[in-house]
Amino acid sequence: MMIDLPLEQVRTLLAVVDEGTFDAAAAVLHVTPSAVSQRVKALEQRTGRVLLLRTKPVRPTESGEIVVRFARQLARLERDTRSELGMSGSGEPTRVTVAVNADSLATWFLPALSRVPRDPQLCFELHREDETRTAELLREGLVMAAVTSSPEAVTGCSVRALGTMRYLAAASPDFVARHLEDGPLGETLARAPVMAFDRSDDLQDTFVRGLRRGASGAGPVRHAVPTSEGFVAAVAAGFGWGMVPEAQAGDLLRTGRLVPLAPGRPLDVPLYWQQWKLDSPALAAVAEAVAQEAARTLRR
Amino acid sequence: MMIDLPLEQVRTLLAVVDEGTFDAAAAVLHVTPSAVSQRVKALEQRTGRVLLLRTKPVRPTESGEIVVRFARQLARLERDTRSELGMSGSGEPTRVTVAVNADSLATWFLPALSRVPRDPQLCFELHREDETRTAELLREGLVMAAVTSSPEAVTGCSVRALGTMRYLAAASPDFVARHLEDGPLGETLARAPVMAFDRSDDLQDTFVRGLRRGASGAGPVRHAVPTSEGFVAAVAAGFGWGMVPEAQAGDLLRTGRLVPLAPGRPLDVPLYWQQWKLDSPALAAVAEAVAQEAARTLRR
């Protein structure tokens, strides 16, 4: 399907999407805005699809995203080939872009990258996104690989199981005394203030529903703190109870600054590594390091 | 200007923007999609502006954003009034939404919120954004207040200086030995691998340009780790040098796991508190707590 797309037009489309406007793309490509416009139109005629919404900034349509992903993979292949041929004349180091969930980034992911050999020198560009949305960044071609909760391969990607992250319901000792001793956990938790990562974090609701059949979820007082470390710090400071990653809260649990609320009822979130199917030595080295560190630190 | 906007139409516009489509807004408002469409059209005729781009999901135009911000402030006022009148029949706790930069969130901001009296019970909803972009969230009406580097008041907002966050150039001892001992800092830093928060983080470039007149910035090997804690951890792990917040790296600097590269050359980023000009007791309590904690922890 991708055969026979004029590469100049494809690269032009990518520049327009990355720069946001035809004028900005023209400046980057050193051509006139009208040339940019003609190339995009020609590509749209050739594919028989509208590829760009002419908003400000422009946005790719669904068909446009497919071509943009192709363009990014192409750019990547060219860069790797140049580098392997010793032709990195631009002096540009190899960039490895990865989308990773906040809790992995706060625990095992940087140690994994430390395992990657530093010769040749790579640039790591990490994007932080919820594990249910990292695959989306892969689909859009913004990253080459992702730590994701989705086992279903994104088109053009391979998948590998990494293990599971365990979450435990926890709260500060003060919070337990103030909010959770006045009845069974299934009832007190449905009223007590609760922490969330952001509005779409439903781990706490899932936990409460698992405790008591028919429960609608956690209580109405919900604080949102959208960083992994901030979330755990807020639970320890008594803002609310929350599901904390076992790997991250280990010290706080051991020293009693956090109390596990139901030690026998963890929530396990399986994680997967998805990456573009590219014969890229850099990407392969990262994948290998990630798999090793995950095997060491995540649960099977 | 805002006088005489039919509130039902304004609320409908807000629902469409929040839900993303006319159909979803109709479901939330319990009316037909055609009623939603008619109300939005009527509001556009009344204001004489196009308010919505009919994309998927819909997006407000610049004029639309002004009306959306008005709608959010209105909803807020209604909620506060109900709550002050003891009418919070919906049982909904008061929500305080704040945009805050990652380094503040990782250091002094949660202790500030701990100072806020817990009666009446508030919900804190934090949004993490670069300090140069938090004001944008305020402008869009997504948050009621922001910690920002911008002293220029967003329309309808008040501003108050909080103090400055100090950043120090730092690296691990290993990294210094490997990359920085082979010449003056202004030259070695321009070649050494460098950390950044994300692609728009130019603090490291600013520092290098300050060291040596005519320098173009930090080197070409750039790693991006978009969390405050991850950034500092990556510097300590030797991925690159970077500008670390003094408040956050204090322990690492004292124990020698991080080495300051030019102790006499800090970069100071002034921070401001901007908030909607609303007579909201909840927002006033948060502003007061933030000002107190900032006075205690930020530099004057």
**Which pLDDT band holds residue A223 (cuts at 50, 70, 90)?**
very high
The reply to whether residue B228 touches residue A227, judged by beta carbons under 8 angstroms, is yes
Domain ranges of chain B: 1-92, 93-300
Q: What is the mean pLDDT of chain A?
A: 89
Question: What's the pLDDT at A80?
Answer: 65
Percent of chain A with pLDDT over 70: 93
Domain B93-300: give its CATH architecture: 3-Layer(aba) Sandwich (3.40)
Domain covering A1-92 in this structure, CATH number: 1.10.10.10
Q: Which residue has the higher pLDDT, A212 or A275?
A: A275
Give pLDDT tens digits for A47-100.
888 899 888 889 998 888 888 888 887 777 676 666 655 454 455 678 899 999
- Give the residue carrying structure tokens 């992250």: A165
Q: For B226, how many CA atoms within 13 A lie in the half-sphere containing its CB?
A: 18
Give pLDDT tens digits for A120-138.
778 999 999 988 889 999 9
| Cβ-based burial of A101 (10 A; exposed 0-12, middle 13-18, buried ≥19) | buried
Question: What's the pLDDT at B281?
Answer: 84
The closest of A134, A7, A136, A21 to A72, measured between CA atoms, is A7
Q: What are the strands, taking DSSP E only, across A94-208?
A: 94-100, 122-128, 145-148, 157-171, 194-196
Residues 203-232 of A with CB under 8 A from B: 220-230
Question: d(Cα A121, Cα A282) in Å, to the nearest integer?
Answer: 9
Question: What's the pLDDT at A134?
Answer: 92
Q: Tell me if ipTM is over 0.85.
A: no
Residue ranges in chain B modelled with pLDDT below 70: 1-4, 79-92
Give pLDDT tens digits for A7-40.
788 889 999 998 899 999 998 888 889 999 999 9
Of the residues B52, B92, B110, the best mutation for testing chain A's interface (the one with the most A CB atoms within 10 Å of its CB) is: B110
State the DSSP H helix or E strand holding residue B209, giving kind and residue range, or none if neither: helix B203-211
The reply to whether residue B113 touches residue A239, judged by beta carbons under 8 angstroms, is yes
The reply to whether residue B221 touches residue A92, judged by beta carbons under 8 angstroms, is no
> Closest Cα of chain A to B216: distance in Å?
15
> Closest Cα of chain A to B59: distance in Å?
10
| C-beta of residue A128 within 8 angstroms of C-beta of residue A244 | no
Query: Given CB atoms, is A102 within the 8 Å cutoff of chain B?
Result: yes
Residues of B in contact with A59 (CB under 8 A): 55
> Closest Cα of chain B to A279: distance in Å?
22
pLDDT at A3 over 50: no
**Which pLDDT band holds residue A172 (cuts at 50, 70, 90)?**
very high
Question: What's the pLDDT at A162?
Answer: 97
Question: What's the pLDDT at B208?
Answer: 94
